[in-house]
């Protein structure tokens, strides 16, 4: 989607920050855990109904998700264990973020469905990579894309909660379509 296409440009733009952090002792896992902490704070703020702060903390969680990989690259600390930790914490973060939407009053079934679809989407990519498909044909709604769309839905919630509920439902339908397409194209690619 939008952000994923510009991820390398954004990474290049943030490279000086990554170098600064690495030079001053920041480790990739520090960024991972800080990002996860912002996800937890987002869910708490949603529960406490501090609406104006929720988009900020959601974006901060996404920002640190970008930083952890960047710090790993610029400090030459890319590792299998780090990639595993990042992936697992990202999934936990996704669950916590969706819990925040539930706390705001979004429909429980739709939130559960969005959570399940997100976990399925990320699992399908990892499984396809494990089976030799380097990049799935359908790679929409990567984590950064989801964070941006969910932030927009949060801002909409502050302005008009009914519209945000509808936007979240549309987002969930889009996730359903993408997961279905990923399933079909992944299956076809593996049969070749």
> Residue 186's closest CA among 124, 130, 143?
124
Residue 32: how many other CB atoms lie within 10 Å: 25
| Of residues 67, 38, 51, the one with CA closest to residue 101 | 51
- What does each C-alpha distance from 77 to 13, 25, 32, 93, 180 come to in angstroms? 20, 12, 13, 22, 36
Can you give the residue ranges of every domain in the chain? 2-191
Mean pLDDT in runs of 10 for the chain (192 residues)?
60 77 84 95 97 96 89 83 90 97 97 97 90 80 91 96 97 96 91 82
Q: What pLDDT is stored for residue 41 in this prediction?
A: 98
The per-residue pLDDT for 142 is: 87
| pLDDT computed for residue 171 by the predictor | 98
Among the options 65, 86, 90, 145, which is catalytic?
90
What pLDDT sits at residue 13?
78
Residue 170, both tokens = 């549309």
pLDDT given at position 7: 65
- Check residue 4 and give its pLDDT: 54
- What's the confidence (pLDDT) of residue 69? 84
pLDDT recorded at residue 80: 85
Is 90 considered catalytic here?
yes
The pLDDT assigned to 107 comes to 97
**CATH code, 2-191:** 1.20.120.1760
Q: How many C-beta neighbours within 10 Å does residue 133 have?
A: 17
Query: ∠ at Cα 56 (47, 9), nearest 5°?
Result: 140
Residue 17: the pLDDT is 81
- Beta-carbon-side half-sphere exposure of residue 141 (alpha carbons within 13 Å): 25
């Amino acid at each position: 989607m939008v952000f994923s296409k510009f991820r390398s440009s954004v990474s290049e733009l943030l490279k000086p920050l990554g170098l600064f952090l690495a030079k001053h002792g920041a480790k990739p896992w520090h960024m991972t855990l800080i990002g996860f902490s912002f996800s937890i704070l987002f869910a708490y703020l949603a529960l406490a109904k501090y609406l104006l702060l929720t988009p900020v903390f959601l974006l901060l969680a996404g920002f640190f998700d970008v930083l952890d990989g960047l710090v790993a690259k610029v400090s030459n600390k890319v590792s299998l264990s780090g990639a595993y930790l990042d992936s697992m914490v990202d999934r936990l973060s996704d669950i916590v973020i969706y819990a925040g939407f539930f706390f705001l009053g979004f429909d429980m079934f739709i939130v559960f469905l969005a959570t399940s679809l997100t976990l399925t989407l990320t699992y399908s990519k990892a499984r396809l990579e494990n089976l030799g498909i380097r990049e799935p044909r359908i790679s929409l709604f990567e984590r950064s894309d989801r964070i941006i769309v969910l932030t927009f839905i949060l801002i909409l919630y502050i302005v008009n909660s009914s519209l945000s509920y509808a936007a979240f439902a549309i987002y969930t339908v889009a996730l359903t379509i993408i997961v279905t397409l990923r399933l079909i194209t992944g299956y076809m690619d593996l049969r070749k």
